[in-house]
Structure 1
Amino acid sequence: MSPLRLLFLVLAIWGTLHPLGLIFTWFAENGVSLTGLIAAWRAGWAPAALFWDLVISAIALSLWIVTDCRARGDRLGLLAIPATFCIGVSCGLPLYLFLRARPV
């Protein structure tokens, strides 16, 4: 495995563990409530701006993944789309780059 591909894998793992750790900490303090979590993300201008920034980035990334996977004939890269929306762009983008960098 190339050093760059290994770096993408490390970033995908970090982009999974760090955000999920923070979300689970929030759940432990506030109860498991997705509506409460989304309300917290939109509670002020700064978190709302970050929330929408990530939503728009996730949509753009997903469109690129679909287009790129179709052009390359590579379906495995599509796994990055649910990772993007279920975990975050911090997981989905490096995961896709990791999958895309492999020999096809």
Structure 2
Amino acid sequence: MAPLRLIWLALAIWGAIHPMSYFLQWFNENSYDLMAMVDAWHVNAATSGLVWDLTIAAVALTIWILVETISTKRWLNLIAILATFGIGVSCGLPLYLYLRSKPAKQSV
């Protein structure tokens, strides 16, 4: 595996584990109420700005993934959209870069 692919994979794993540890800690302290977490994200202008920054980045990433997946027909790459909205851009983006950097099959 190419070194850059290993970097993308490592970042995807880190981007899944590190943010999720904070989410789970928050849920354990504040109940498993998703709407309460959304309210916490908008506690002040700084956090609201971060939420919107990441939301716009997630939408842009999703459009990019959809356009490339339709043209390349690498349907497995769509899993990066689930990772983006289920975990975050910190996981979805490097996961997609890992998946898209896989060499295409050579026709013989």
Runs of 4+ in structure 1 off by over 3 angstroms are none
Superposition TM-score, scaled by structure 1 size: 0.97
Higher mean alpha-carbon deviation, 1-10 vs 64-73, is at 64-73
CA apart distance, 1:69: 1.0
**Separation in structure 1 between the aligned mates of residue 77 and residue 4 of structure 2, nearest angstrom:** 17
Task: Say which SS state the counterpart of residue 74 (structure 2) adopts.
Answer: coil
**Separation in structure 1 between the aligned mates of residue 18 and residue 36 of structure 2, nearest angstrom:** 20
CA apart distance, 1:71: 1.4
What is aligned with 1:6? 6
What is aligned with 2:98? 98
The gaps in structure 1 that reach 5 residues or longer are none
- Residue 44 (structure 1) aligned with residue 44 (structure 2): yes
Higher mean alpha-carbon deviation, 45-54 vs 67-76, is at 67-76
Structure possessing the higher radius of gyration over alpha carbons: 2
**Separation in structure 1 between the aligned mates of residue 89 and residue 53 of structure 2, nearest angstrom:** 10
Superposition TM-score, scaled by structure 2 size: 0.94
**Separation in structure 2 between the aligned mates of residue 14 and residue 67 of structure 1, nearest angstrom:** 26
Higher mean alpha-carbon deviation, 7-16 vs 68-77, is at 68-77
- Residue 79 (structure 1) aligned with residue 79 (structure 2): yes
Task: Say which SS state the counterpart of residue 102 (structure 2) adopts.
Answer: coil
CA apart distance, 1:25: 0.5
Higher mean alpha-carbon deviation, 71-80 vs 9-18, is at 71-80
**Separation in structure 2 between the aligned mates of residue 46 and residue 58 of structure 1, nearest angstrom:** 18
What is aligned with 1:26? 26
**Separation in structure 2 between the aligned mates of residue 28 and residue 78 of structure 1, nearest angstrom:** 30
CA apart distance, 1:85: 0.4
Alignment: residue pair count: 104
